[in-house]
Amino acid sequence: MSGAGARLGAGRPGVVEVEPAPPHRIVQIGLNLAPRPAELAVRRLSEADLASAVRAKVGAQAAGGRFQGAVLVARDGRVIYSEAKGLADREHGTPNTLETRFRMGSMNKMFTATAILQLVQAGKVKLDAPLGTYLTDYPNRDVATKVTIHHLLTHTGAPATSSAEFSARRSN
């Protein structure tokens, strides 16, 4: 033990430092990354090779009846690969296209949450900020000032609205 406390694992993949005096609280925990073994190297693909690999995977899945939909792969705003497979409407034999609108239902919640959390990570949105911070003309001032982004993402702060109320408001 030293003045700073015990230090375990020095020179090893991990480090744990504890206070020298009781109750010996942990002061620091650190992990060092081990180098990736050569046999587990990650192969970086060129954009052309990536497009080819995605095309092959999508084609194989579609041919096996395991995929119907649209795929778009982009980097820095440039489309590397896009293709639609399968049927949008089996009854009428209508094929999917890149313009097909899919009924995603609640899956949109996950995409929205991911996008919002990316904005949080970038420092552009705060989870504890009220809705009115970002939607300054939100019509319900009570909701705009009390309901936070966190509430919206966790479905815990918005006032309850029945389907009939929603439909009535939507048609106005």
Q: Is 163 a catalytic residue?
A: no
Which of 106, 162, 163, 171 is an active site residue?
Answer: 106
The kind and range of the H/E element at 73 are: strand 69-75
Tokens of 145: 């000032």
| Neighbour count for residue 87 (Cβ, 10 Å) | 13
Residues linked to residue 28 through DSSP beta bridges, in sequence order: 17
What's the rounded Cα separation, in Å, for the pair 79 and 71?
11
Nearest by Cα to 8 from 25, 30, 23: 30
Q: What is the CA radius of gyration of the chain?
A: 26
Active-site residue set: 106
